[in-house]
Amino acid sequence: MIPTSFPDKQEIARLSANMLLEVGAVHFNAKDPFTLASGLPSPTYIDCRKLISFPRIRATLMDFMAVTVMREAGFEAFDNIAGGETAGIPFAAMVAERLALPMTYVRKKPKGYGRNARIEGVMTEGQRVLLVEDLTTDGGSKLSFVDAIRETGATCGHTAVIFYYGIFPETIDTLAAHGVHLHHLCTWWDVLEAAREGERFDAETLSEVENFLRAPRPWQEARKK
Which domains can be identified in the chain, with CATH numbers? Answer: 9-223 (3.40.50.2020)
Helix, strand, coil percentages for the chain (3-state, nearest 5): 45, 20, 35
Q: Say if residue 114's pLDDT is above 60.
A: no
Please answer whether residues 165 and 139 qualify as being in contact, where contact means their C-beta atoms are separated by less than 8 angstroms.
no
pLDDT-derived band at 39, boundaries 50, 70, 90? confident
Hey, is 24 helix, strand or coil? Answer: coil
Q: How far apart are CA 124 and CA 122, in angstroms?
A: 6
141 CB burial (10 A radius; 0-12, 13-18, 19+): middle
Q: Tell me the C-alpha distance between 194 and 200, whole Å.
A: 9
State the pLDDT at residue 205: 94
d(C-alpha 104, C-alpha 122), whole Å: 6
pLDDT at 223: 86
Q: Tell me: the pLDDT tens digits for 10-37?
A: 999 999 999 999 999 999 998 899 988 7
Mean pLDDT of the chain, nearest integer:
93
Q: What is the pTM of this model?
A: 0.94
Q: What is the total residue count of the chain?
A: 225
Region 142-164 average pLDDT? 97
Provide the percentage of residues in the chain whose pLDDT is more than 70. Answer: 96
Is pLDDT larger for residue 210 or for residue 2? 210
**DSSP 8-state code for residue 44:** E
- The region of weakest confidence among 58-72, 99-113, 143-157 is 99-113
For residue 119, pLDDT beyond 60: yes
Provide mean pLDDT across the span 100-128: 88
| pLDDT tens readout for residues 160-170 | 999 999 999 89
